[in-house]
Amino acid sequence: MEFDLKTIEALAPDQASLSAASKLTKRSNWPRLEKNEQQALIWGECQGSGSNPYRVVVDTGDHGYKCTCPSRKFPCKHTLALMWIAATAPASFAAAESTPEWVNDWLGRRRRTTPPPAQSTPGAAAKSIDEATRTDESAAVEDLAAVERREAAQRKRAEDTRQAVSAALDELDQWIADQLRLGLSGFVAASSDRCRRIAARLVDMKATALAGRIDEIPSRLMALRSEERPDAAIRELGKLVLLAKAWRSAPDDPELKRLISTSETREQVLANPDARQVESFWEVLGEKIESRRDGLVSHSTWLLDLKSTTPQFAVLLDYFPASAGRRSNAFAPGDRFDARLVFYPSRKPLRALVAERMGEVMSGAWPDFTFDAAKDPLATHASHQDAAPWTTDCPLMLPAGAVLVDDRGTGWWQAADDPQGIALPIAGAVNQTLLGLDLTATAALWDGARLDLLAAQSGFGRLDLS
């Protein structure tokens, strides 16, 4: 058994999981606990609320694990509890010469990797097995030595996470090379399975955010016409290469850490003196609500800075479990308010938090923005790509234009004063009424292939398009 409590602490996704796991460590919860030392495996069956117990297996060599429970937390409380029993009461496990069929199935499906010795997350400071087991009475005043120990543990966990993520990116690199070798036509056809597998590995190895991004690649590809998908696959995979390289050169960069592993907490962003703060009037351009494959719903609210002379955007990003149902929205498209936003530090800050909201603002037209002198509607996108080439969606403010349709019914935005110039295809079905409106300015997201319209100003006033 190679578990110690620190390892389990580092693996736990949050303090609540540790607390829940501590309650499952009673022997009576586990009708079956077995081990096979030759294969470095422990497994058990934990009686939950259902008629069948959850089956849990852990590889003590590389800390890989599998549990049949439906939890969205990885590792789940059952896995943590099994590890916990292995660390504190190894005698509870009966030696087994052979492994059960379900353990064999799991072994057959998983890929072994260089075992990360221990893993942790930057936010792990808030959780510890001590905390999970500590009663209120045992809360002691921290002394300097304890603070030092905790900071040392944090450093250790950060280092462990870095190593785990580094190993994850090695796997990602190899996976990308495999896709190129096997052919992108096959990748496009089987992107769902292939992305799911590597994403699961990346979650195991603490590259959670990156895993979420890869999980969304299939749906991004499927949203395009079949002839466009290979190019989109090149763009998606190429950006992953760039992101991995950028992280290796600056693993402590907050933007890159956010895109690869985990995001800062709200408190950390608000307390960050380097975080850009903008107090202005903001208009809610629109919302994008997407169900992700990892069971979460991402809710983006796009804002426009009404005091800026050039188009400046912000996005408020929220995630919640799909099982929680649709949440009521804090803002409706078209709302205007006076607020101080704090932006997550990055090369082109977009994601923000509302730090302080001062009140409502009267509705009206957008400011007369200055547009790119070269009349390139994608100039902002190019600028974003120069600064952060791994980014995908870029908000744009398009000058006066109109929406046209091609023979297949796809909508295209085209500048009003440049009918022979560049036209940008629009994602999704276009409302036929939009074809009869003059657009004096249009806010949209560009993902390299399609415009996702948010809102526009027209001769008929504001248009909600999200």
Binding site for another protein (CB under 8 A): 173-174, 176-177, 180-186, 230-231, 234-239, 241-242, 245, 332, 334, 363, 378, 381-382, 385, 389, 402, 404-407, 412, 414, 422-425, 431-438, 448-449, 459-464
Which segments of 47-82 are extended strands (E)? Answer: 54-59, 65-67
352: nearest Cα among 309, 318, 381: 318
Nearer to another protein, 133 or 410 (CB): 410
Query: DSSP per residue over 326-358, as a string?
Result: PPPPS--TT-EEEEEEEEPPSSS--BEEEEEEE
- Whose structure tokens read 């586990």? 30
Nearer to another protein, 24 or 388 (CB): 388
Nearer to another protein, 341 or 453 (CB): 453
CB of 437 to another protein, least distance (A): 6
Nearer to another protein, 5 or 437 (CB): 437
Structure tokens belonging to residue 155: 């450093």
Quick count: other Cβ atoms within 10 Å of Cβ 3? 20
CB of 402 to another protein, least distance (A): 6
CB of 211 to another protein, least distance (A): 19
Nearer to another protein, 8 or 232 (CB): 232
73: nearest Cα among 130, 2, 127, 150: 127
Nearer to another protein, 57 or 237 (CB): 237
Contact 384, 445 (CB under 8 A): no
**CA 44/CA 30 separation, integer angstroms:** 7
List of residues 6+ apart from 250 with CB closer than 8 A:
256
**CA 231/CA 113 separation, integer angstroms:** 31
Residue 159 identity:
E
Nearer to another protein, 98 or 383 (CB): 383
**Most distant CA pair in the chain: distance in Å?**
79
Nearer to another protein, 163 or 414 (CB): 414
CB of 382 to another protein, least distance (A): 5
**CA 107/CA 30 separation, integer angstroms:** 22
| 39-51 burial code (b ≥16 CB/10 A, e <16) | eebbbbbbebeee
CB of 231 to another protein, least distance (A): 6
DSSP 279: E
CB of 279 to another protein, least distance (A): 25
